[in-house]
């Protein structure tokens, strides 16, 4: 598959963590959280913005035309604006999809990497020529400002990614899984619908499950770690990126942390990172994608990367 184009839209409100949340959480605590996470500011949606409007603001005429040419569209989101219909129906109201397979994927931060694997698998069928992955999450709508476990961490964002079938699989190796018994580490309150996260348990999940998943993906590929050009890791926090970097002894220039001024963008985390570094990542690079989150779910892919970005 060829990574053909990518567009990004982030929340319109930029807020400094310490200043914005200091009335609800002690400033010293916020500074420590900010130092550990590496996140200084958040981009969150305005009151009149939601997941649907955020994506629709990206759909220009040319993007609408390209979406109408897709045989497969995958929407990755946990930020539904209403229970029924699926969020894809609300997003794609103006797009011709009568001959399109539309899938909704409710996998949070891991969803984009899972969607990449789905696109690559569908492209083994020659009838699928063009595909799109749409990501959007507006976690700020489900967060209490006084909740220091999540309020200083999450921003809002959306992306639209296009792919073209080049008649060959791009996935060299993969590893994935779900530990459903641990879902309560990142969950919304059934009464208030507000988000809660146990950061220590999520970090333990990264160390105990995600890092072994990355290692197994590399080991099964028979490619040396030094031959991997870039590690495209879910932008959860600087603490997570530094732990993965340390464990695998990854050189600084091969792994990125780019959410200092946006916050954790959930499903849009990796598309945002790709958009930021697309001029650095050349064709025929070998990329290691890994993402994890709600569920608790993880997915890792080693990809032979081709792009045709404008």
Assess whether 272 and 299 both reside in one domain: yes
Q: Answer yes or no: is 45 within a domain.
A: yes
DSSP, collapsed to helix, strand or coil, labels residue 286 as: strand
Q: How far is CA 59 from each of CA 45, 67, 158, 171, rounded to the nearest angstrom?
A: 17, 9, 11, 29
Assess whether 119 and 183 both reside in one domain: no
Average pLDDT over residues 290-298: 91
Pairing of strands 41-44, 13-16: antiparallel
Residue 94 sits at φ, ψ, to 5 deg, of: -100, 10
- The answer, yes or no, to whether residue 47 has pLDDT greater than 80, is yes
- The answer, yes or no, to whether residue 191 has pLDDT greater than 90, is no
Average pLDDT over residues 184-196: 84
> Would the CA dihedral through 138, 144, 148, 152 be positive or negative?
positive
Residue pair 287/281 in contact by the 8 Å Cβ criterion: yes
Q: What is the pLDDT of residues 238-251, one digit of tens each?
A: 999 999 999 999 99
Q: How crowded is the C-beta side of 52, counted as CA atoms within 13 Å? A: 14
Average pLDDT over residues 44-71: 96
pTM: 0.94
Assess whether 129 and 246 both reside in one domain: no
Assess whether 179 and 131 both reside in one domain: no
Assess whether 10 and 152 both reside in one domain: yes
Assess whether 210 and 180 both reside in one domain: yes
Assess whether 11 and 138 both reside in one domain: yes
Assess whether 200 and 144 both reside in one domain: no
Q: What is the pLDDT of residues 70-105, one digit of tens each?
A: 999 999 999 988 889 999 999 999 999 999 999 999
Q: Indicate the pLDDT class of residue 67, thresholds 50, 70 and 90.
A: very high
Residue identified by tokens 């790709």 is: 274
Q: Indicate the pLDDT class of residue 186, thresholds 50, 70 and 90.
A: confident
Query: What pLDDT sits at residue 286?
Result: 95
Give the end of a domain, one of 141, 164, 187. 164
Assess whether 17 and 151 both reside in one domain: yes
Give the end of a domain, one of 145, 164, 183. 164
- CATH number, domain containing residue 295: 3.40.47.10
Q: Answer yes or no: is 206 within a domain.
A: yes
Q: Indicate the pLDDT class of residue 197, thresholds 50, 70 and 90.
A: confident
Residue pair 156/139 in contact by the 8 Å Cβ criterion: yes
**Residue-number span of the structural domain to which 109 is assigned:** 2-164
Over the chain, what is the mean pLDDT? Answer: 93
Give burial (CB, 10 Å; 0-12/13-18/19+) of 251: exposed
Residue 41 sits at φ, ψ, to 5 deg, of: -140, 160
Residue 290 sits at φ, ψ, to 5 deg, of: -150, 135
First to last CA, the chain: 16
Assess whether 213 and 141 both reside in one domain: no
Contacts of 258 (CB under 8 A, 6+ apart): 235, 272, 273, 276, 277
- The answer, yes or no, to whether residue 208 has pLDDT greater than 60, is yes
Q: Residue 66, preceding bond cis, omega within 30 degrees?
A: no
Query: What pLDDT sits at residue 94?
Result: 94
> How many domains does the chain divide into?
2
Q: Answer yes or no: is 82 within a domain.
A: yes
Query: What pLDDT sits at residue 170?
Result: 93
Assess whether 13 and 145 both reside in one domain: yes
Query: What pLDDT sits at residue 310?
Result: 53
Assess whether 14 and 158 both reside in one domain: yes
């Amino acid at each position: 598959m060829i990574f053909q184009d990518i567009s990004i839209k982030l929340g319109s409100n930029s807020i400094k963590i310490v200043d914005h949340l200091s009335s609800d959480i002690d400033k010293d605590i916020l500074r420590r959280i900010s130092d550990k996470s590496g996140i200084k500011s958040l981009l969150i949606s305005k009151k009149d913005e939601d997941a649907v409007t955020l994506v629709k603001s990206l759909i220009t005429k040319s993007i609408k035309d390209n979406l109408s040419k897709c045989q497969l569209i995958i929407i990755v989101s946990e930020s539904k604006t209403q229970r029924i219909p699926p969020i894809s129906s609300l997003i794609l109201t103006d797009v011709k999809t009568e001959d399109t397979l539309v899938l909704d994927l409710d996998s949070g931060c891991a969803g984009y990497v899972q969607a990449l694997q789905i696109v690559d698998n569908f492209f083994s069928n020659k009838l699928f020529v063009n595909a799109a992955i749409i990501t959007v999450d507006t976690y700020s709508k489900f967060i209490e400002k006084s909740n220091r476990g999540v309020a200083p961490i999450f921003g809002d964002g959306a992306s639209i990614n296009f792919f073209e079938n080049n008649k060959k699989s791009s996935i060299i190796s993969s590893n994935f899984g779900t530990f459903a018994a641990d879902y309560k580490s990142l969950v919304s309150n059934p009464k208030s619908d507000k988000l809660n996260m146990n950061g220590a348990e999520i970090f333990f999940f990264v160390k105990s499950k995600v890092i072994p998943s990355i290692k197994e993906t590399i080991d099964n590929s028979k490619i040396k770690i030094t031959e991997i050009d870039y590690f495209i890791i879910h932008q959860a926090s600087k603490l997570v990126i530094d732990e993965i970097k340390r464990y695998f002894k990854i050189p600084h220039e091969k792994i990125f942390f780019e959410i200092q001024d946006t916050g954790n963008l959930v499903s849009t985390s990796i598309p945002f990172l790709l958009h930021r570094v697309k001029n650095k990542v050349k064709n025929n690079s070998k990329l290691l994608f890994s993402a994890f989150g709600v569920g608790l779910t993880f997915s890792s892919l080693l990809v032979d990367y081709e792009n045709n970005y404008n």
